[in-house]
């Protein structure tokens, strides 16, 4: 999981979705649907304000109860009398029920024990003694969240569901997994998830394999991840944070099974646990379920305390290297300044809130002074560090640049310190403070966590103090601390003394330099091979044979499915529990002059969510790669009326924010492409006028002529795209394959794929040699696309808010020109707007591969049937999971069927294999041909698919989903048909889809993979028949 905080981490954050410090179990890459809500349980009949604790506490004692007005929730804190396990129980009317069990798990080394355990405990337990109950839950549950995450000092196991019985099933499986895992007696799980020697024959090459081992090789292939690790370990040399809880692939093979077991025995005990419930389920039932597990344990002293890092007496410097490519553009350095902010634990509530505001003031928007100074300095390509991090025992602050010339590192450091000193002298303007206050306050009150359940965001926020023996309720309150802070800000200078104390006068500071090393990747590979060779040389012939036998036995176990009788132990719902009727979203279609208007009457707590879509077809195709940069430039150079800083602060002070981005998708059964420029914003009902005035000002009067700002935007975008190829190669591969198939795929590739990266490289030079021509092109895009013709407006709010906003919406639309000047008129040809179909290997410095293969099933004759959703989901949790991940050692292996275009894609993630994975993809057809499915397995597959279709959504997402259905011509009648087809799926449908998948192993199917140069060379040599084109990117 990655952070999705609307403003920042910490007390000022309104939403948290995971952590930038967490490694996760991950699911299979199957994408959640964007449809209606799942089955719900009856809401609590008692108001949280009057709710009382249950009479029967089932072995717990009530230690505290409070009402939290901010979330209309009653909190009970319980302690299990026998074991000391702590429970935080939040009750409100949210149907999206959440549970999490968290253990404090500080490691002493970088063997990755917490991470390997997090994977392994979900591989079978006492009550569920099958290979992977976790995967069975993915297959057959209505979960709205299912994962596990390893942090530097804790491991947490969260689940969520809107269906009460499903929720109880998830909780039961997870509790049994953490307290009674099979991996304590089954060493093969440790070998599979952690590491093992793999040898297929006595004369074959011996290698290291393991899911976590390969996952962390992928992490260590990313320079940004290397930087983050070096910085954390340099700040905390004397504590548990000085090692890598995720595991360093150079030392993971030093971990033995006994040490792995001992770690679980020590830390995975109720006395070291913190358990969290949230939602509208019954409190007494929560306690009863927990006592059923905890009752068999005795209280135990567990020393899992996190030691404080003593403050340094003087700053330090660390110089390290990362594996770089051969290209000249790859030879750039990173520099980051890091501070430890406290000497003994988290901030108190008010300080935390103030530091959150300070973080936002320094870095929270492009106009924030520290961020602006770095981004507009011309000294680097993009910012790193990102400011405040407060999810560990002691909070930190970090900021720097990447893409820096080595000679410019001192200048970057000087700029950071000079800027902070200047701010400490001058303070922040009142406009900046007003903007920050409104931005943070809006975000807190909106509490929009996106697809991440609200309850789990509160759990993670509580753990920021609870984990360290502090008040878990305090981080959830913001009204009183916010009111007090605003009072202080009106009468005293809050931020300058804080800035001086935390940053300027703070000697616990580390500057980390990270430099490119073209030889490092080969050296690390050679070191690994030498280590394996030394081990092999120490073996007798009989011992070598034993390694071969162990390899065969592990693969046999991995590839042998559980019997239907064994799988029946995992609880699941019945088809009868699923509503037959599709859930609809309130939607009204009308017109407002030349604009199509969609409105959705939903309760949004007085917030208006507005999307204004302009026709992207109007942009000439030769300018399409420039559109993403144009979107960014429109928001970064100010307007005819306001400077960039004034405009940004006006937006922050009076709205919930707005942004501009392109969108393109195929439409099933049509050569048309839905392609729009999306202007998306939000505000309170009272701010709708300001929101739309600022939108109009930006669209019509934004300046586009600041060369230095634009140059920086190009460099930032290029840097981000390069990082994306290294760390998200599966997305790059999928984009290339889609671009070989459809006009929508081609346009998306131009705007966001490898083609965009290549365009950015050329554009960076063009900015220097032909700036006037670039400005002309930017203005041509605006003239063409900013127009009323073929526009669509989508509004989501309750009727009262909508009515109050319509004057502002009308005013905005009326300000737009009727048609664009110089707009393109030629239709997008599906035969011309595609990349030439071929097999591609994209090379970057990496220790792992991302392997894609695909074909268009519609072009091969397949007609869409709802059962395809079921088959696709099941492939990702059976054949591909078992062969690509479990047996193959990749971190992920999955498939994706894009029902609008008909394109079917296989993808792998952080994969040690290339050709072997392609072989597994091709084996899918035979797997489906020979598949037998009992009634229970079929039911599970159908229910899991329904969980995707009926995923939980907040109001803004519902409105946007309805908009997408309108654009892509998906009617509720068709949705009902697909739902019936999903619910009626039979084994015959699996066989039929298997026949359609013949297209994916036909000669017309295409391969695209992101790999190392060495892996590409080996594949070209071994499979000349695939006629690979090798593209060197970095």
DSSP 741: T
Model confidence at 35, pLDDT cuts 50, 70, 90, reads very low
Tell me how far apart the alpha carbons of residues 491 and 433 are, in angstroms, rounded to a whole number: 14
CA distances from 498 to 353, 359, 505, 958 (A): 12, 11, 10, 41
Residue 741's φ and ψ, nearest 5 degrees, are -110, -35
- Complete DSSP assignment for 721-740: HHHHHHH-HHHHHHHHHHHT
What totals of helices (H) and strands (E) does the chain contain, helices first? 36, 28
Q: Model's pTM, two decimal places?
A: 0.93
| Beta strands 97-104; 154-161: pairing state | antiparallel
Longest dimension (CA), the chain: 84
The residue-averaged pLDDT of 988-1007 equals 98
Over residues 977-992, the pLDDT tens digits come to 999 999 999 999 999 9
The residue-averaged pLDDT of 557-579 equals 92
CA distances from 225 to 232, 244, 380, 756, 783 (A): 11, 11, 18, 23, 41
Residue 341 CB-half CA count within 13 A: 26
Structure token digits, residue 133? 């109950």
Tell me how far apart the alpha carbons of residues 821 and 503 are, in angstroms, rounded to a whole number: 51
DSSP 640: S
Q: What is the pLDDT of residue 46?
A: 79
Residue 338's φ and ψ, nearest 5 degrees, are -125, 135
Tell me how far apart the alpha carbons of residues 197 and 253 are, in angstroms, rounded to a whole number: 9
Answer whether residue 709 shows pLDDT above 60: yes
Over residues 233-268, the pLDDT tens digits come to 999 999 999 999 999 999 999 999 999 999 999 999
- Strand ranges inside 555-708, DSSP E: 588-592, 595-601, 607-615, 658-666, 673-684
What SS3 class is residue 1006?
strand
Model confidence at 24, pLDDT cuts 50, 70, 90, reads low
Q: What is the pLDDT of residue 230?
A: 97
The residues carrying an active-site annotation are: 118, 193
Tell me how far apart the alpha carbons of residues 626 and 776 are, in angstroms, rounded to a whole number: 12
* Residue 454: CB atoms within 10 Å: 22
Residue found under tokens 């992101």:
1010
The residue-averaged pLDDT of 384-392 equals 94
Q: What is the pLDDT of residue 328?
A: 66
Q: What is the pLDDT of residue 130?
A: 96
Helix (H) or strand (E) holding 188: helix 187-193
Tell me how far apart the alpha carbons of residues 1030 and 1034 are, in angstroms, rounded to a whole number: 12
Tell me how far apart the alpha carbons of residues 710 and 267 are, in angstroms, rounded to a whole number: 52
What SS3 class is residue 471?
coil
CA distances from 417 to 421, 424, 561, 604, 680 (A): 6, 10, 59, 43, 36
Answer whether residue 19 shows pLDDT above 60: no
Q: What is the pLDDT of residue 1034?
A: 85
Model confidence at 220, pLDDT cuts 50, 70, 90, reads very high
Tell me how far apart the alpha carbons of residues 628 and 760 are, in angstroms, rounded to a whole number: 11
Helix ranges (H only) for 295-366 are 349-363
Model confidence at 47, pLDDT cuts 50, 70, 90, reads confident
What SS3 class is residue 850?
strand
What SS3 class is residue 249?
coil
Least confident of 387-401, 422-436, 564-578, 841-855: 564-578
Question: pLDDT exceeding 90 applies to what percent of the chain?
Answer: 93
Answer whether residue 632 shows pLDDT above 80: yes
Q: What is the pLDDT of residue 40?
A: 38
Q: Which residues lie closer than 8 Å to 167 by C-beta, 6 or more apart?
A: 41, 97, 99, 159, 160, 161, 279, 281
Closest CA to 107 of 281, 316, 259, 3: 259
Tell me how far apart the alpha carbons of residues 881 and 887 are, in angstroms, rounded to a whole number: 8
The residue-averaged pLDDT of 276-282 equals 97
Over residues 920-940, the pLDDT tens digits come to 999 999 999 999 999 999 999
Closest CA to 652 of 677, 678, 683: 683
60 beta partners: 80
Find the angle CA(18)-CA(20)-CA(24) to the nearest 5 degrees: 60
Tell me how far apart the alpha carbons of residues 233 and 285 are, in angstroms, rounded to a whole number: 43
Tell me how far apart the alpha carbons of residues 420 and 435 are, in angstroms, rounded to a whole number: 20
Structure token digits, residue 416? 């950071």
The residue-averaged pLDDT of 500-508 equals 97
Q: In this predicted model, which residue has the larger pLDDT, 437 or 17?
A: 437
Q: What is the pLDDT of residue 3?
A: 24
Find the angle CA(172)-CA(175)-CA(176) to the nearest 5 degrees: 85
Q: What is the pLDDT of residue 4?
A: 24
Model confidence at 34, pLDDT cuts 50, 70, 90, reads very low
Over residues 758-799, the pLDDT tens digits come to 999 999 999 999 999 999 999 999 999 999 999 999 999 999
| Whether 818 contacts 594, CB under 8 Å | yes
| Beta strands 792-797; 595-601: pairing state | parallel
Buried b (16+ CB within 10 A) or exposed e, 897-926: bbbbbbbbbbbbbbbbbbbbbbebbeebbe
Over residues 171-213, the pLDDT tens digits come to 999 999 999 999 999 999 999 999 999 999 999 999 999 999 9
Q: What is the pLDDT of residue 39?
A: 35
Over residues 373-382, the pLDDT tens digits come to 999 999 999 9
Q: What is the pLDDT of residue 37?
A: 30
DSSP 625: G
CA distances from 388 to 239, 357, 385, 720 (A): 20, 10, 9, 21
CB neighbour class for 624 (10 Å; exposed up to 12, middle 13-18, buried from 19): buried
Closest CA to 34 of 627, 832, 476, 583: 583
Residue 537 CB-half CA count within 13 A: 6
Average per-residue pLDDT for the chain: 93
Residue 954's φ and ψ, nearest 5 degrees, are -80, 165
| Whether 61 contacts 78, CB under 8 Å | yes
Helix ranges (H only) for 467-587 are 479-491, 495-499, 520-537, 541-559, 564-567
Q: What is the pLDDT of residue 44?
A: 53
Closest CA to 908 of 926, 928, 930, 887: 887
Answer whether residue 38 shows pLDDT above 60: no
Q: What is the pLDDT of residue 45?
A: 63
Sign of the C-alpha dihedral, residues 865, 867, 870, 875? negative
Answer whether residue 330 shows pLDDT above 80: no
What SS3 class is residue 989?
helix
């Amino acid at each position: 999981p990655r952070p999705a905080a609307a403003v920042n981490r910490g007390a000022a954050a309104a939403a948290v979705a995971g952590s930038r410090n967490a490694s996760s179990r991950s699911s299979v890459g199957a994408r959640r649907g964007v449809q209606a809500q799942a089955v719900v349980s009856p809401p609590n009949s008692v108001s949280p304000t009057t709710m009382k604790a249950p009479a029967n506490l089932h072995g717990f004692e009530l230690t505290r109860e409070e009402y939290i007005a901010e979330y209309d929730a009653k909190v009970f804190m319980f302690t299990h009398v026998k074991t000391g396990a702590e429970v935080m129980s939040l009750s409100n009317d949210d149907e999206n029920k959440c549970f999490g069990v968290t253990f404090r798990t500080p490691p002493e080394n970088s063997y990755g024990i917490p991470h390997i355990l997090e994977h392994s405990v979900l591989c079978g337990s006492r009550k569920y003694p099958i290979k992977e109950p976790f995967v069975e839950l993915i297959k057959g549950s209505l979960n709205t969240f299912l994962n596990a995450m390893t942090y530097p000092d804790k491991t947490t196991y969260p689940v969520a569901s809107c269906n009460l019985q499903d929720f109880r099933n998830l909780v039961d499986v997870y509790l049994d997994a953490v307290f009674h895992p099979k991996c304590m007696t089954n060493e093969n799980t440790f070998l599979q998830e952690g590491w093992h020697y793999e040898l297929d024959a006595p004369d074959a090459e011996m290698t290291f394999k393991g899911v976590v081992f390969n996952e962390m090789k992928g992490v260590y292939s990313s320079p940004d991840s290397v930087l983050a690790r070096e910085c954390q370990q340099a700040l905390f040399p004397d504590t548990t944070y000085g090692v890598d809880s995720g595991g360093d692939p150079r030392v993971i093979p030093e971990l033995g099974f006994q040490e792995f077991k001992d770690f679980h025995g020590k830390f995975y005990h109720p006395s070291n646990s913190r358990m969290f419930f949230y939602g509208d389920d019954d409190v007494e039932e929560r306690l009863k379920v927990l006592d059923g597990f905890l009752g068999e344990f005795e209280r135990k002293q567990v020393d899992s305390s996190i030691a404080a890092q003593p403050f340094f007496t003087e700053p330090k410097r660390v110089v390290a290297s990362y594996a770089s490519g051969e290209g000249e553009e790859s030879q750039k350095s990173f520099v980051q300044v890091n501070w430890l902010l406290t000497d003994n634990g988290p901030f108190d509530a008010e300080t935390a809130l103030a530091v959150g505001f300070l973080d936002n003031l320094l870095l929270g928007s492009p106009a924030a002074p520290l961020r602006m100074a770095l981004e507009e300095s011309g000294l680097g390509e993009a910012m790193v560090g990102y400011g405040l991090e407060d999810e560990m025992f002691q909070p930190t602050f970090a900021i720097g640049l990447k893409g820096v010339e080595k000679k410019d590192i001192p200048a970057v450091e000087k700029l950071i310190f000079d800027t902070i000193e200047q701010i400490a002298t001058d303070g922040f303007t009142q406009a900046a403070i007003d903007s920050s206050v409104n931005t943070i306050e809006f975000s807190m009150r909106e509490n929009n966590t996106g697809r991440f359940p609200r309850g789990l965001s509160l759990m993670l926020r509580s753990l920021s103090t609870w984990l360290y023996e502090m008040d878990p309720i305090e981080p959830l309150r913001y009204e009183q601390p916010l009111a007090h802070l605003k009072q202080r800000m009106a009468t005293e200078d809050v931020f300058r003394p804080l800035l001086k104390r935390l940053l300027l006068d703070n000697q616990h500071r580390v500057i980390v330099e990270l430099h490119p090393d073209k030889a490092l990747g080969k050296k690390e590979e050679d070191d690994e091979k030498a280590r394996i060779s030394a081990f092999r040389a120490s073996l007798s012939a009989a011992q070598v044979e034993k390694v071969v036998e162990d390899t065969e036995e592990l693969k046999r176990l991995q590839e042998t499915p559980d019997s239907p009788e064994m799988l029946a132990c995992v609880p699941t719902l019945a088809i009868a529990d699923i509503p037959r009727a599709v859930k609809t979203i309130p939607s009204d279609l009308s017109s407002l002059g030349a604009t199509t208007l969609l409105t959705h009457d939903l309760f949004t707590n007085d917030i208006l969510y507005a999307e204004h879509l302009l026709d992207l077809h109007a942009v000439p195709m030769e300018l399409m790669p420039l559109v993403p940069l144009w979107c960014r430039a429109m928001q970064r150079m100010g307007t005819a009326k306001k400077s960039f800083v004034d405009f940004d602060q006006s937006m922050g002070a009076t709205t919930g924010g707005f942004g501009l981005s392109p969108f393109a998708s195929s439409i099933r059964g049509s050569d048309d492409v839905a392609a729009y420029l999306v202007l998306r914003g939000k505000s309170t009902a009272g701010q709708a006028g300001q929101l739309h005035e600022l939108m109009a000002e930006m669209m019509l009067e934004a300046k586009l002529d600041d060369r230095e700002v634009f140059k920086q935007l190009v460099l930032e975008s290029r840097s981000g795209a390069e990082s994306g190829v290294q760390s998200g190669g599966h997305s790059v591969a999928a984009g290339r394959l889609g671009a070989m198939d459809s006009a929508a795929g081609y346009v998306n590739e131009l705007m966001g794929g490898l083609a965009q990266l290549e365009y950015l490289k050329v554009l960076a030079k063009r900015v220097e040699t032909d700036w006037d021509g670039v400005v002309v092109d930017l203005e041509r895009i605006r003239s063409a696309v900013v127009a009323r013709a073929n526009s669509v407006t989508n509004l989501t709010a309750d009727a009262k808010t909508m009515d109050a906003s319509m004057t502002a919406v009308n005013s905005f639309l009326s300000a737009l020109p009727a048609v664009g000047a110089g707009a393109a008129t030629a239709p997008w040809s599906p035969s011309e707007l595609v990349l030439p179909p071929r097999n591609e290997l994209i090379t970057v410095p990496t220790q792992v591969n991302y392997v894609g293969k695909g074909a268009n099933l519609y072009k091969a004759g397949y007609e869409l049937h709802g059962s395809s959703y079921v088959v696709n989901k099941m492939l990702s949790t059976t054949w591909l999971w078992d062969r690509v991940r479990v047996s193959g050692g990749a971190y992920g292996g999955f498939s994706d069927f894009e029902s609008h275009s008909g394109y079917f894609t296989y993808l792998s993630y952080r994969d040690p294999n290339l050709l072997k994975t392609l072989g597994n993809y091709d084996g899918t057809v035979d797997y489906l041909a020979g598949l037998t499915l009992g009634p229970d397995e079929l039911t599970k597959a159908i229910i899991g698919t329904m969980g995707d279709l009926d995923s939980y959504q907040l109001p803004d997402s519902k409105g946007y989903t309805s908009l997408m259905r309108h654009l892509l011509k998906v009617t509720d009648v068709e949705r009902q048909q697909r739902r019936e087809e999903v619910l009626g799926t039979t084994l015959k449908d699996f066989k039929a889809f298997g026949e359609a998948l013949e297209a994916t192993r036909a000669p017309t199917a295409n391969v695209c993979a992101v790999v190392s140069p060495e892996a590409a060379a080996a594949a070209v040599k071994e499979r000349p028949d695939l006629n690979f084109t090798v593209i060197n990117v970095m």
